[in-house]
Amino acid sequence: MATNQNRASLIAASVGLSIIALMGSANAAPPPPPAPSLAQVAEDDPGFDCLTMGNLMCGDPDGKYAKEAWAAWDKAQAWKQLRTAATNTRVEYVGYAKRHPDVDALSELAVPSRHGWFVFRGTLTTEPTTEGK
């Protein structure tokens, strides 16, 4: 008879602990939201790395590479390669990339450099040209 009492006590204790565990999990705080992934970091946010995220191209706001970029442009004779290169095309140096960037084939051109690639963009202007005058 002592064995049956031990079994009954053990079952009652197990059921009681199960109920307590269920009540405790219902009152538990929800898990924290997931940390933002690298894909969720916007270009202007801290933690954004232009060389490994987005279009893999960095702007050069302080002109750190501008002189070298234009020298590479001249050396590569890039004006012959830019598809929008008409007499009324304005060309600007827009940035650099470590790997060949995904550029717009109609208006952008990536020129190789010792740092990777310099990126230039050509835009048609409505300004009259002074060539040949």
Give residue 1's pLDDT.
53
Confidence (pTM): 0.58
Looking at residue 22, what is its pLDDT? 62
Residues of the chain falling short of pLDDT 50? 129-133
Alpha carbon distance 48, 105 (integer Å):
26
pLDDT of residue 57: 85
Q: What is the pLDDT of residue 87?
A: 62
Per-residue b or e along 104-113, where b marks 16 or more CB atoms closer than 10 Å to that residue's CB: eeebbbbbeb
